[in-house]
Structures are given as structure tokens and as C-alpha cells.
Amino acid sequence: MSKRVLTTESGAPVADNQNSATAGVGGPLLLQDQHLLEKLARFNRERIPERVVHARGSGAYGYFEVTDDVTGWTKADFLSQVGKRTETFLRFSTVADSLGGADAVRDPRGFAVKFYTEEGNYDLVGNNTPVFFIKDPIKFPDFIHSQKRDPFTGRQEPDNVWDFWAHAPEATHQVTWLMGDRGIPASYRHMNGYGSHTYQWTNEAGEAFFVKYHFKTNQGVRSLSSEQAAELVGKDANSHQTDLLQAIERGVNPSWTLYVQVMPAAEAADYRFNPFDLTKVWPHADYPLQRVGRLVLDRNPDNVFAEVEQAAFSPNNFVPGIGPSPDKMLQGRLFAYADAHRYRLGVNHTQLPVNAPKATVADNYGRDGLMATRNGSRHDKNYEPNSYSGPAQSDAALSAPLAVHGWTGTHEAPAHTKDDDFFQAGELYRLMSDEEKGRLVANIAGGLSQVTRDDVIEKNLAHFHAADPEYGKRVEEAVRALRED
């Protein structure tokens, strides 16, 4: 086999890839050395902005197969038939640290699924936690600033982390989750995924349902203690990446079973919790899990940068039959992601192979911009309506309308009868075994005891007391013991 010839970006052969061109032996370099100039300039531009959150992640391709009939609740074509398969791409991630951060840390994990459906790409951008820290998107930048590195010290600071939570009683449920046993998954394969938000499904008859998605790992949930995680980080900072990559390379393909909780739309108004509050779960006794299908990951990407770093998920990439609920957090996210992609990857990020539809083609009048590769032919008009054969609207409603009433203004989310910031955090605490409660308390106290201001500690303790008096007492005692040391 003849050897491939190394070329410049324009395809011309490179004569020497080991010695740059100089003026005489030992002399200065020549500006005419196109290969050297191009190689150095291109190298300088290899990095793109990292994701402002969820920077560190791993991805894999696979498929979703429908196992149960859900057509009574949604007309989504990819869920329309038992046995139907849809290609998928999943990106897992940690949240707070930057691109070089370690995997085995106490942090929520991202669980972002792209379904390449015949009706366009559907992105379900969730986490491994069923709830979240806040319920209004206006708090998100402050929340993330408090959890990422401090601008002065360049480290994550317990003072900032806990000061934010001191002012966010609604975070108590998610903090309890994060500090408990599931806070450090053993690997991406051994954790569940959740849509977390409430979404809306619409069936063929136009009836609306509110749903919550649960992906249950078929590998079993496995977690690490804080001590095990610290040891693992020292041995392999990329432990989640190693585990996922090697499992799939060996043909040990991880899978998850997808379930949904389904609430008929008419029940939302009188449910005892606000069903659109992201800090709350719906107890399974109220809305049991209904099985939908199976998600299998069976192929590693060939190139991490092209397919994982450039992957772009947006919660407002819906398909007919699936739409948003009025959850304020979700509504904020409908804006934030595509905006982030336009900044991070450019306006034509949707044309990159990992992001472009695979089971259909994008056909519209969007044109130009940096790096346009799909820009129409001589036969395609770039305006609509037109008298030619260009694409036209379908006239079919995508999802059922949401009823709205009231006045504009900066309202707090409406409270339902059982709504408060602590009840479900207490329920979660009381569900734990005594050993798990002990580890939860130790994890919280480990961080909270490092806070330098007493008032910040007191405010946080008040949240745990409000969730459950025993919980509050145990955390208070553990914090006091550590501070007296």
C-alpha cells in the first residue's frame, strides 16, 4: 500500500515536517514557510470556549427501543410503535468544574439525550437527580457563580457554596440528595437519569398530559463514599470516561429502562404540590412509573472533540407530541442553551454531524453565517412563502396549548396546599437507613464546618431543622464537633 502524502490545509504536499525553513543553515526562519505558519496558527486555535457549566463530559451513541404502548398519551412518532428503534447520542457530565476537572466528585451528573427521530431531533437534557436547587431561572447565574471557582482564590469556596444555599431554602431537597449516598456515582453507567422538569405530552386526539421522565440504570445504582472517591480521583481523574469507554469497547453495552409518570393535564391545578416546581418530586403512589422503552449505548464516538465537545443539546428541540410545561426553570432553559451554542460553536452548529438530524433533513430558509455548509442550491429560494417548490409549514399543532391567566409581573411560583421548601427534603431524610443518615450528616458537616461566618452556618442549620428536627440536630452537633476540633 502506498503511503499517504502529508499535505497542507489546501492539499499541497508537505516536503519536510521535521525541519522548518531557514535563511541559511542555522539562520532565522522564513516567512514563506507556509506549512510552519499554518501549523502553529492552527494549533493556537484548537480550543473553543468550554461549556459554562457541564464542561467535563463523556458521550456515546446507541438506540432507544419502544417496549410499551404509550400512544394514549403522546403522538410522538418515535414512540408510536412497540419495537420501533431510534438512534440516540448521550452526553454525561459533571456540572461545576472546568474541562480538566476530575470525574469522581460530589456533584450532580448531566444526562443529556439526543433522539435522532424521523420528525427531527428531540433533546431531553436532564440530570441524574429528579430535582434541582432552584425554581426560578433568574437565580441560575448566581447559583453557578457560587459553586464554581472563586474569582480571587481560584478554588471552590465553602463560604460561597453555603452562602448561596443559606439564601435558597428551596435547595434543601437537592442538597439532601447531593450529600447523600447517590451524590457520587461510581460511574456514568451506574446512575439513573431524570428529565427532572415536568414536560407536556399530547396525543393524537389533542389531549394533554404532564409527564416526568425516569431512566433507571440496568447496571444497578452504585455510588462511592467521599473517601473512596478521593482515592479514585488520585488514581484516575478520568474514571467515568475510562469506565464508559472501556465497557462499550468490550461490548458491555450499558442500558437504561425509561419510565414516565403521567398526570392528566386537568389534575395539575389542584395537585397538592405545584407540579411545575423543579424542587419537588411527584410521589410514585400518586403517579406510578409507566414503562416506555429501553435506551442502549453501543458505540463510542471516534473523535471526542468533534462528537462530544461539539455536541449541542437544547431543551427546546421538541418533536410533535412533546412540548414544554409552564415550569419557569424549563422556560428559562428554552432560551439559554441555543444561545450558548451560538456563542460556543456558532450559528451553524446545527450542521455539525453530531447535531444534524440523521433520520430526516433540516429544510428551511435559514442561510449564511460563519461556517455554513448546508446553504441551498441554485434551485432553492431563500424566502418564504414563494411560488416555487420550497418547504412550507405543516399546519399541524405540535403540542396542546397551555392555559394562561392573570397579570404580568415578577411573581413567585404559585404555592399549592402542601408546598413548602422543606417537606420533601424531610421525607427523603426519613427514607434513609441510619447508616446513610450518618454519612449524609458527615458529608454536610464536612463542608458546612469550613464556612467562616456563623450567620451563614445558622441559616443553613435552620433549613435542616425545618426539614426534620432530628436531621437538623444531628447536622448541628456534627458541625459543632468539627469546629471545636
**Active-site annotation holder among 54, 197, 341, 349:** 54
- Nearest one of 328, 329, 333 to 317, comparing CA atoms: 333
Helix 158-166 vs helix 454-467: crossing angle, to nearest 10? 50
Return the number of the residue (338 or 457) whose C-beta is nearest ligand HEM. Answer: 338
Q: Least CB distance from residue 290 to ligand HEM, whole Å?
A: 20
Cα separations in angstroms, 30 against 20, 26, 27: 8, 12, 9
In this structure, are residues 54 and 110 in contact, taking their beta carbons and an 8 Å threshold?
Answer: yes
Query: Scanning residues 87 to 106, which ones bind ligand HEM (CB under 6 A)?
Result: 91, 93
Of all residues in the shown chain, the one whose CB is closest to ligand HEM is 110
Does residue 158 contact residue 447 with C-beta atoms inside 8 Å? yes
CB of 270 to ligand HEM, least distance (A): 25
Number of Cβ within a 10 Å radius of residue 20: 14
Q: What is the DSSP-derived secondary structure letter of residue 402?
A: P
Please, are residues 137 and 332 in contact by the beta-carbon 8 Å criterion?
yes
Nearer to ligand HEM, 176 or 196 (CB): 196
Q: Across the strands, what pairs with 200?
A: 210, 323
DSSP letter (8 states) at residue 193? E
Work out the number of other CB atoms within 10 angstroms of the CB of residue 419: 17
Q: Is 354 in the site for ligand HEM (CB under 6 A)?
A: no
The tally of CA atoms less than 13 A away on the side-chain side of residue 53 is 21
Q: Cell numbers of 386, please?
A: 414563494
Rounded CA separation 55/334 (Å): 19
Of 328 and 474, which CB lies nearer to ligand HEM in the complex structure?
Answer: 328
337 labeled part of a ligand binding site: yes
Q: Are 413 and 328 a contacting pair, CB within 8 Å? A: yes
Grid coordinates belonging to 54? 457541564
The residue within the footprint of ligand HEM, chosen from 76, 102, 104, 125 (CB under 6 A), is: 125
Minimum CB distance to ligand HEM smaller for 346 or for 446: 346
- Closest to ligand HEM by CB, 354 vs 451, is 354
- Find the binder of ligand HEM among 61, 64, 115, 132 (CB under 6 A): 132
In the complex, the smallest distance separating the C-beta of residue 333 from ligand HEM, rounded to whole angstroms, is 5
Shortest reach from residue 145's CB to ligand HEM, in Å: 12
- Cell numbers placing 50: 468550554
Could you list the beta-strand ranges (E) of 352-451.
none
93's CB contacts (< 8 A; 6+ apart) are 51, 54, 55, 56, 57, 58, 109, 110, 112
Cβ-proximal residues to 356 (8 Å cutoff; 6+ apart), any chain: 350, 362, 374
Concerning whether 214 is annotated as a catalytic residue, the answer is no
Residue 180 in contact with residue 436, Cβ under 8 Å? yes
Mark the segment that binds ligand HEM (CB under 6 A) among 8-16, 124-132, 159-167, 441-449: 124-132
Lookup result for grid cell 410522538: 76
Count the site residues for ligand HEM by CB under 6 A: 27
> 314-343 mask for ligand HEM (x: CB under 6 A)?
---------------x--xx--xx--xx--
Name which of residues 45 to 84 contact ligand HEM (CB under 6 A). Answer: 51-54, 57
Q: How far is the CB of 95 from ligand HEM (least distance, A)?
A: 7
140 binds ligand HEM, rule: CB under 6 A: yes
Nearer to ligand HEM, 131 or 268 (CB): 131
Closest CA to 128 of 110, 140, 145, 116: 110
**Least distance in angstroms from the C-beta of 185 to ligand HEM:** 14
Out of 35, 121, 127, 463, the active site residue is: 127
Residue closer to ligand HEM, measured from CB, 37 or 336: 336
Please state the closest distance from residue 338 (CB atom) to ligand HEM, in A.
9
Compose the 400-439 pattern: x for residues touching ligand HEM by CB under 6 A, - for all others: ----------------------------------------
Find the angle CA(358)-CA(260)-CA(264) to the nearest 5 degrees.
Answer: 115
Least distance in Å: CB of 443 to ligand HEM? 22
Cite the DSSP H helix spans in 289-376: 304, 328-344
Using CB under 6 A, which of 128, 187, 196, 399 touches ligand HEM? 196
Chain centroid, CA 336 distance in Å: 12
What mask, x for binding ligand HEM by CB under 6 A, covers residues 277 to 316?
----------------------------------xxx---
Is 145 an active-site residue? no
Binding site members = 337
Write out the catalytic residue numbers.
54, 127
Binding site members for heme = 337
Give me the residues that bind ligand HEM (CB under 6 A), please. Answer: 51-54, 57, 91, 93, 110, 112, 125-127, 132, 137, 140, 196, 311-313, 329, 332-333, 336-337, 340-341, 344
